[in-house]
Amino acid sequence: MSRIVIGVMGPGATATVADCDAARNLGYRIAQAGWVLLTGGRAEGVMHAASQGAKAAGGLTIGILPDAPGAGKQGISEAIDIAIFTDMGSARNNINVLSSDVVVVCGMGAGTASEAALALKAGKPIVLLNTDINSQKFFTHLSQERTFIAEDVAGAIALIQIILRTV
């Protein structure tokens, strides 16, 4: 039987220090819980920090890259165990959310917003972390049942555990 996969999605080059700190901590705890971490795989921002956190706790990390092999501008995060090369740019965002049992959105940006929206479209639960009140209102309005808001990393982990029990 396939393992539980938790996706962590967030800004790349435009991620804030707070986004990355939260992502690193989140990745660490996801690995500790025995879940597989799935990210966008690049060596920048939230995806990089989450993957580094997961490796620090001995976890397994999957990166779904928008690039062809060898073509990534910032390259692959060295904290990625399995690199899936899609060569399909932002269209790979749909694969990220379809392949995650729960999607944690850490920080916000145009690409991240598309992942949150695609997740809701596919019926996947999302946990919002480190997002502003506008984003929280917008996604809650799109789907009240599947949008969860976490106060901090510990809260996000608690929400994931609750969601996994009900799916």
Name the site residues for a second copy (rule: CB under 8 A). Answer: 1-3, 5, 36, 60, 62-64, 68-69, 76, 78, 80-95, 98-99, 108-111, 113-114, 117-118, 120-122, 132, 134-135, 137-138, 141-143
Whichever of 28 and 85 has its CB closer to a second copy, that residue is 85
Whichever of 20 and 108 has its CB closer to a second copy, that residue is 108
Q: In a 10 Å sphere around its CB, with 0-12 CB exposed, 13-18 middle and 19+ buried, how is residue 95 labelled?
A: middle
Q: What secondary structure letter does DSSP report for 91?
A: G
Least CB distance to a second copy at residue 113 (A): 4
Least CB distance to a second copy at residue 154 (A): 26
Least CB distance to a second copy at residue 44 (A): 15
3-state DSSP percent of the chain in helix, strand and coil, to 5:
45, 20, 35
Least CB distance to a second copy at residue 63 (A): 8
Whichever of 76 and 104 has its CB closer to a second copy, that residue is 76
At 66, give phi and psi (nearest 5°). Answer: -75, -10
Least CB distance to a second copy at residue 62 (A): 6
Whichever of 7 and 53 has its CB closer to a second copy, that residue is 7
Whichever of 36 and 160 has its CB closer to a second copy, that residue is 36
Q: Which residues contact 107 (CB under 8 A, 6 or more apart)?
A: 10, 11, 15, 16, 18, 19, 22, 23, 45, 46, 129, 130, 131
Q: Under a CB-based contact definition with an 8 Å cutoff, are residues 115 and 89 in contact?
A: no
Cα distance between residue 167 and residue 163, in whole Å: 6
